[in-house]
Structure 1
Amino acid sequence: MSKHTVHSSYREKLLEHLFVSELLKRSWCLDRCDLEVAKPEVDNAGYDIILEAHGHTRHVQLKASFQGSSTPKQKVNLRLAEKPSGCVVWIYFEEETLALGPYLYFGGEPGQPLPSLAGTKVAKHTKAEHTGKKAERPNIRELNRGEFTAFDSLEGIYTALFGAAPAPL
């Protein structure tokens, strides 16, 4: 069994920290240093981190897959749409080094709400009930990879999240 499976929680947290670190570095390089990062105490509203920069606040649900993964879709909590400028960032990473990129993005322009999830498929639990049936998860929707916008660089995902950087402070 690979360490990616055995230590999946560790890896998830590590990738989150690496992503936030890269965003902070981008803010630094733009001579802005205005990126703020917060975490929810409870994970029940569909987002993992809150990011604010250039006057835009983002509630971000993070997803991750290793480069070359055949994962075709991700599950998104409907409550994310209740947040102003909610979005999903799907981070691809290199399996051995954990280098980040490319990035996939599902969300509106900065300041705009999450695009409608109406018509998207209701997700099902991964494990079946005792009858063998997989129950639906009414508050979770499945988004196909093709519904995301791809960015090869951190600069691209940073701009998708916060818009073009204003002049340095």
Structure 2
Amino acid sequence: MLEYHLSGAITSELLLRNLPFELLRTDCDRDGYDLVIEANGIIRHIQLKGQVLGGAAREVTAHVNLATKPSACIIWMTYDPLTMRPVSYRFFGNPPGEKIPPLGDRIATHSRGKKKQRPDHRVIFAKRFEKTSGLEELVDRLFGTRHPDISALIDHMAALPEQAEPWLAAVRAGRFDAIPEDCDWDSSAALAHLIDGYALLKEQGRGETGLVAEEAHSVAGKTGRWPGGTCDLWIALFLEHRRWRSASPHEPDAGQRALLDILVRQLREALTP
């Protein structure tokens, strides 16, 4: 039950972060893990432990084979017995891409019978676990933090009017894979105006909007690529739509349109790596 709750919560958070993932469950935990989740280029072999709210357990055990897996870790959940849902998480592991810390030398014993040793298991004390503030921090520890540029854009869009069009509403909420693959300059006006480019430029203290737009357009014309990160590209798309709206009845010629199509494609690729 706890495993299903946790895997559902983690994968929901990964979807909200627009991170594709794969999840595998083991039929037995002979090698010391219950779940394997791959996301953001990281493969996590995860051993799960559970403790009832108010419980006093001071240690858990782990199989030594867990230490052979890339980025393995242990998640120790505390759950509410009334709802059977996790209420807090403790984490034993290293940052994404690093192996689990040494398990230690204390050999575990069977909890029943004559307390025979379990030579393939080690005792890990509760004090070696790190408490997390909640699910978001747990996912940060597992797969890395959300890119600050992306987070800032999601927060910015949340303060702007909601969208009725389903795919635009999904993008506004951070589901960037909802951007149509065939989105081009002609169909990107609504996408461009999911942000307020003027407000973002003001926040960044980047000066005259006209100069910013001209500089980006100049670089793109010389190199065939629009400069900057995700936020810069979205601002550039916003400013280009404003430019051509004010230039009515003029329309981009074939060369300009091709360059603007590149801008849309670059933005989509930056948002959906």
- TM normalised by structure 1 equals 0.83
Pair 1:59 & 2:45 matched? yes
Letter in 1 for 2:16: C
Map Cα deviations across residues 109-156 of structure 1 (whole Å, 9 max, x no partner).
10100101233x211111234xxxx21111111111110001131001
1:30 paired to 2:17: yes
Q: 2:83 aligns to what SS in structure 1?
A: coil
Please state which structure has a larger fraction of its residues in strand: 1
User: Do the aligned residues in 2 keep the contact of 1:101 with 1:152 (CA within 8 Å)?
Assistant: no
| Alignment of 1:102 onto 2:88 | yes
2:99 is the counterpart of 1:118:
no
Query: When the two structures are aligned, how many residues end up with a matched partner?
Result: 150
Structure 2 unaligned residues grouped into runs of 5+ = 151-270
Tell me if the contact between 1:54 and 1:165 (Cα under 8 Å) persists in the aligned partners: no
Aligned Cα RMSD in Å? Answer: 1.4
Identity level (%): 29
Query: AA paired with 2:134?
Result: S
Structure 1 gap ranges (5+): 1-13
TM-score (structure 2 length as normaliser): 0.53
Is 1:69 aligned to residue 55 of structure 2? yes
Poorly superposed stretches of 4+, deviation over 3 Å: none
Structure number having the greater helix percentage: 2
- Aligned positions of 1:115-154 closer than 5 A: 115-119=101-105, 121-129=106-114, 134-154=115-135
Point out which structure has higher relative CO (alpha carbons under 8 A, 6+ apart): 1
Deviation of 1:42 (Å): 3.9
Q: Amino acid of the residue matched to residue 119 of structure 2? A: P
State the secondary structure of the residue aligned to 1:165. Answer: coil
C-alpha separation between the residues in 2 aligned to 1:101 and 1:157? 12
The superposition leaves residues 51-110 of structure 1 with CA deviations (integer Å, 9 ceiling, x where unpaired) of 111000000000011111111111111110011111100011111012322101111110
- The code of the aligned residue for 2:145 comes to A
Larger Rg: 2
Contact 1:101 1:154 in 2 (8 A): no
